[in-house]
Amino acid sequence: MTTTLDKVLYTAQSHTTGGRDGGAGKSSDGKLDVELSSPGTSGTGTNPEQLFAIGYSACFIGAMKAVGGMKKITVPADVAVDAEVDLGPTAKGYGIAVRLKVSLPGMEREAAQALVDAAHGVCPYSNATRGNIPVEITLV
C-alpha cells in the first residue's frame, strides 16, 4: 500500500553521476558533496549503503526526539544509533537489510524500549522500509 503525503514539508534534491563506481553525488544546496565507490573496492568514496545507514540512524534519532517531545520524555543528549546496512543478492536482484542498535544512556529500560517502539512507528525510514526489507532494532 502506498502512503500519500498530506503535505510536503521538505524536498531534498541531488545530482549523481557515474553511480557507485567512481561516481559522485552532490546536494542542490552544496552541503553534501561526495565521491562514490563500491563497497570492498580500493575506491576512496563512500557508498549508498553507508549513506543509507547514516540517513536512517539520524532520522531515527529525530523520531525519538519527536516522540519524546509529544510524550514529555527527555531523550538523553548522548543518544546514539549504530546502524548496519547489509547488501546482498536476492531472487530478484539485490537487496538490503538493516540493524539499528539504539543507545539511550540513563533511561530506564522499559521507558527506553517504549520510546524506541514509538519512534519506529513514526520514523520516515522505518515507514518506508516496513514490510519491504528486514529491519532489526535493538536497545543496547
* CA-wise closest residue to 140 among 103, 100, 98: 103
Domain 47-139: give its CATH code.
3.30.300.20
In tens, the pLDDT along 22-32 reads 999 999 999 99
* pLDDT band for position 3 (cuts 50, 70, 90): confident
Locate CATH 2.20.25.10 in the chain. 1-46
Strand-pair category, 80-90 with 93-103: antiparallel
pLDDT value, residue 1: 73
- Contact between 128 and 135 under an 8 Å Cβ cutoff? The reply is no
Which string of DSSP letters, residue by residue, matches 3-37? PPPSS------EEEESTTTT-EEEETTSS-EEEB-
In tens, the pLDDT along 118-128 reads 999 999 999 99
Is the pLDDT reported for residue 104 higher than 80? yes
* 76 three-class SS: coil
Q: Which CATH number fits domain 1-46: 3.30.565.10, 2.20.25.10, 3.40.50.2000, 1.20.950.20?
A: 2.20.25.10
Cβ contacts of residue 17 below 8 Å, gap of 6+? 23, 24, 25
- pTM for the full predicted model: 0.94
Locate CATH 3.30.300.20 in the chain. 47-139
